[in-house]
Each structure stands twice: as C-alpha cells, then as structure tokens.
Structure 1
Amino acid sequence: MAAAEKALWFIESHYSEDLSLRRIAEVAGVSPFHLARLFQAMTGCSVVRYLRARRMTEAAHRLAGGAPDILAVALASGYGSHEAFTRAFGDQFGLSPASVRERGSVAGLALVEPWRTADGVQVTLDEPRLAHDGIRFIAGLGCRYTADTKQGIPAQWQRLYLHHAAALPKRHTAFGVCCNSDDEGSFEYIAGVDVPGFGGLDPALSTLRLPAREYVVATHHGHISDIRRTWQTFVGDWLPRSGLQVADAPEFEKYGADFDDTTGIGDVEIWLPLQT
C-alpha cells in the first residue's frame, strides 16, 4: 500500500482523534515533509485541509440526520469545544451546525467525500537520474498559492516577462521554484531565471539562493498543462520505490532550451533535493 493510501486510510478510520501531520506520517512510514509532498501531488489537497474537510463532511451528515447534541458531534470530530467546532464548520460550509441540523439536509454543501486514487493517472516516466547542482541565484516574481489557487501560476510567468524582461539577463534558464511550504498546503512559487548575482536587480523582484546539493531529476515531456501527471508518477510511484529520501528544501522545475512558452510544449525537468 502506498504511503498516501496509508495516510488516507488512517485519516478515515481515526479522524475523530487529535491527529497531526507528524502522527499521520508515522503511520504512513514516511517523513512529514515527504507525506506533505506526496499527498499534495496525489490528491491536490494538503493533509491538514483534507482532514478538516472530511471531519466537517461527516459532521454535516450527522447533523442533517438529526444529531441531538452539537457538542457531542464536535467532540467526535476532534474539536474540544462547541465554539471551535462552530467556527470551523462555518469556514467550511458558510452555515452554522445548528442551521444544518434544522434543515435536515446536506444539499448544497461543499462536501468532501473520501478520496480514492484515480485509475490511469500515471505516465510512462523516463528513468530519473541523480545529479549534482552548484549554487544558483534565482530572481523573479514570487507568489503564494494553495492547491485551489495554483492555476494562477501561468499568469505569474506572463507578468514576469511583460513587466520585468528588461531587468533579466538576455541569456538565462527559467526556473519555477517551490519553497516555504506549510502544513496547510500553502507554498511560495517563484517564477524566475538564473542570474549571476543579486547586485543591481530591480528591488521588485524576489530572490532565492539555492545552495549546491544533490538532486534526483525526472523529465516531463509534452504539454506543460499535463505536468501534474508526471509529478504524480515521479513522487507517488517511482520515489517511494527508489529508497531515496527527499530533503526539506526548495524543489524546482527547470525549463529546457526547447521549451516554447507560447505553445507550452517542450521538456521540463523536475528536480527534487535529496538528504545527504
């Protein structure tokens, strides 16, 4: 059973307990950082957000079925007070627990049912390679995303080239760097290029120094819109079988010389940092 499936099973069978990312990762047999990457790649949602949404969905079903005691539902959902539960329930559905119980229906609520691995999501992956990369200086535009908002990344690249092209080196390689992630699934994405150094740059640009380190690298072929499937196969299938341990450090997509940013077609390399 894959680590993500173990995590899903554990959440489904223990969601009323006081769960943390660390505890779920221990059951899944991987580090919290690796589970966060894997779960996001497989489901498009962070572990913490999925756990919260599943708790609220099950609570909504119970309340719509006429559960007489809202506090009992709150406690069974992993919340220690009526107030904390009501606040989380409202954040999820825009309604109070009492109102859902009164109307006796979950119709119209944004329920999150148990996630199951979809068939056919994997792609044929070229055998990933180990590589050493030296120090890199990345400059570009940074923005924070979640799984629900990352569709804004292509527009971020457009803003970079529309408004900052003059400040970028004429010869460069494009990098999409993911860094500074949190348990909620939020992460910073820097759409940028490699530069000789940070001196004299436009202060509006975000900068990031990547230290020299070891990586494992997979290559995505085809249209950029399908790169998630390559990520899923790489992180969800190949990586767990490889025995390699991913480091808690920035990962990036490196756009090849043949990548056409007009058509979105061309090779893109996925670089994952390794523990040493």
Structure 2
Amino acid sequence: MDHYSRIQLAIEHLEQHLQEPFNIRDASAAASFSAFHFQRLFQAITGFTVLEYVRRRRLTEAAATLRNTAQGVLEIALSYGYQSQEAFTRAFDAHFGITPARYRKQEEKEHWTEKQMQKTIDFNEYRSKLGTEFHMNPPHMVTLEPIRIIGYEYQTNLNNEQHYAEIPGFYHDFGSQQKFMNIPERIRPDMAYGVAAHFQEDGAFSFIIGEESVGSDDSLEPGYTCLDIPGGLYAVFTTEGSEQDVRKMIYGSWLPASKYERREGPDFEVTDVWKSTPERLDMKIYIPLK
C-alpha cells in the first residue's frame, strides 16, 4: 500500500472520531506511521497541520449541525470538543466571520462560507497532481556507517512551520557564539551537521547542530548532547533554492511516489562551511530509507 493510501486510512480514522478527543497516536497508527512522520508527511502534502485539519473539519460539521438541526449551541460546542459555548463561539467567529447564533438565523448560509468549509480530504487527488507538481533532481543513494555527533540542542516545532522560521537562527547562534568550540575531539570541523531528533507527538522536536566527534559525552557543557546517527541506506538530496522547498518536495512528492519507505531514525543535513556563502549554502539532506 502506498503512502497516499495509508494516509487516507488515517483520514478515515479522524473522520470517524471527530467528536472525540484528538489523538494523533491513534490516527497515525491507522496509517502505520509514527506520529511525527505522519504529521510531517501530511503537512508537506497539504500545506497545513493535522491538528488544523481536524479543527477545520469540526467547525465545518458544527456549522452543518447548526443549519440542519435544532440542537442547542452549547450541546453542539461540547460535542465537537469545545469546553464552553464561549470558546466555540470565538473559534466559529474567527473562522467564518459570524457567530453561531447569527449563522443559524441566516436564510442563505452557503455562498459566503463555502471557501471556509473544510471538505474531507481525498489523498487520491494529491496523488494525481504528482506528474505536474514534482520538479526535483533525483537523489543519490548511499549506505553509511554509524556517525557520532556532538552538538548544541535547540527546541522547535512542526506546527505553523515554526521550525522553518527558527532553524536559520539556530545556525547563526551556533556560529556567532562559536558553540562548535565546546565540542570535544572534532574530526571534521569543516562539516556542520543539523539533525532532527527527539520527536514528540505534538510536533515538537529537537534540532541539534554539531559536528562529528570521537569524544566522550561524560563532561559536555550544558545544552550540548551526543547523538549517534544510525548506519544504513540514505537518500541524499542536494539543496537548490530554499531548504524549505526541498524538504516539502521530499516529503510531499518524492517519498510518496518512490518505492522506498522512510525507516526509523533522524533526518540530517550536512553543510560544507568552507564552500558555503550567506547567499548559497553547500548543503545535502539525508533521509533514512528501507
């Protein structure tokens, strides 16, 4: 079963449980993905997060219930996961531009809300777009030995694409504050590693910037950590343009269309600091595969 069919299974699970507490673990399990990987694939393909999709779907179904039934606003609010009528009213007004009470009284309710309504996603539609939207040089495949990285650990999040906004600043901090000088026994000081690790179900993760080292982690400075990157098969992508666009292409187009599965383990990127300029990074992105 391909990535799109598997993600569709997760969508079906979410639809069946819209009126229950949101549980990313159960939804991702329906697709046989880890919670973090499911969120990343979903966001790369659709452009928004799983949580945002669920929020839009709940508001859309709540609007239909307002229109088609005589249920009270509080009852509807509670059934779609809001703790109070006030919280539901604020969310409904922010999304549709009208309160639930006023919406219910409107004689014509379709034309002005149609664009805000979130229909159930069909990932077959996304699959059909691959031929026209996939523009990327193919990766080359390498088999690596395990690599030990020691680096400084920053915290970020997938939600609202927070990581894309923050990671350039992490690199600037790492270089300008010369944090690389606290890495013991560096063996390739011309190569800076950026490693996504320690994934959480809510989209939070660590981004570790460091270098290869044969040093011990027994006496690292505060904020530093040691991470062993597993050996194995990797797809290696060379960045052309923005890293954000490349990663969206990898997870939104290349990986779902490929014959490969992403295996457990961190993504990482390697920047040749001597060949890079502020205008153009010499960077390669490594994705673990099986």
User: Same fold by TM (over 0.5)?
Assistant: yes
Residues 1:103 and 2:102 are matched in the alignment: yes
Q: For 1:79-228, what aligned pairs fall within 5 Å after superposition?
A: 79=81, 83=83, 87=87, 89=88, 92=91, 100-104=99-103, 113-114=118-119, 117=126, 120-148=132-160, 149-150=162-163, 151-165=165-179, 167=181, 171-197=189-215, 198=217, 201-203=220-222, 205-225=223-243, 226-228=245-247
- State the distance in 1 between where 2:138 and 2:54 align: 34
Give the number of the structure whose alpha-carbon radius of gyration is greater. Answer: 2
SS of aligned partner of 2:202 = coil
Q: What RMSD in Å do the two structures reach over aligned CA positions?
A: 4.1
Unaligned runs of 5+ in 1: none
TM-score (norm 2): 0.69
Change (3 A) 1:90 1:155: farther
- State the distance in 1 between where 2:117 and 2:218 align: 48
Superposed CA offset, 1:255-275 (max 9, x none):
24675241134341223266x
Residue 30 (structure 1) shift: 4.4
Partner in structure 1 of residue 16 of structure 2: 14
CA contact (8 A) 2:140 2:236 kept: yes
- State the distance in 2 between where 1:75 and 1:165 align: 49
- State the distance in 1 between where 2:62 and 2:71 align: 12
Q: What is the one-letter code of the residue matched to 2:143?
A: A
SS of aligned partner of 2:151 = strand
Residue 161 (structure 1) shift: 0.9
Between the aligned residues of both structures, percent identity stands at 19
Q: What is the one-letter code of the residue matched to 1:139?
A: G
Q: What is the one-letter code of the residue matched to 2:54?
A: L
Superposed CA offset, 1:240-264 (max 9, x none):
x22x4511x3322222467524113
Residues 1:42 and 2:45 are matched in the alignment: yes
SS of aligned partner of 2:280 = coil
More deviation, 265-274/217-226: 265-274
* Aligned residues between the structures: 263
TM-score (norm 1): 0.72
Partner in structure 2 of residue 73 of structure 1: 76
Unaligned runs of 5+ in 2: none
Superposed CA offset, 1:167-220 (max 9, x none):
2558242122112222222222223333332466543x4313215432422313
- State the distance in 2 between where 1:215 and 1:26 align: 24
Change (3 A) 1:132 1:92: farther
SS of aligned partner of 2:194 = strand
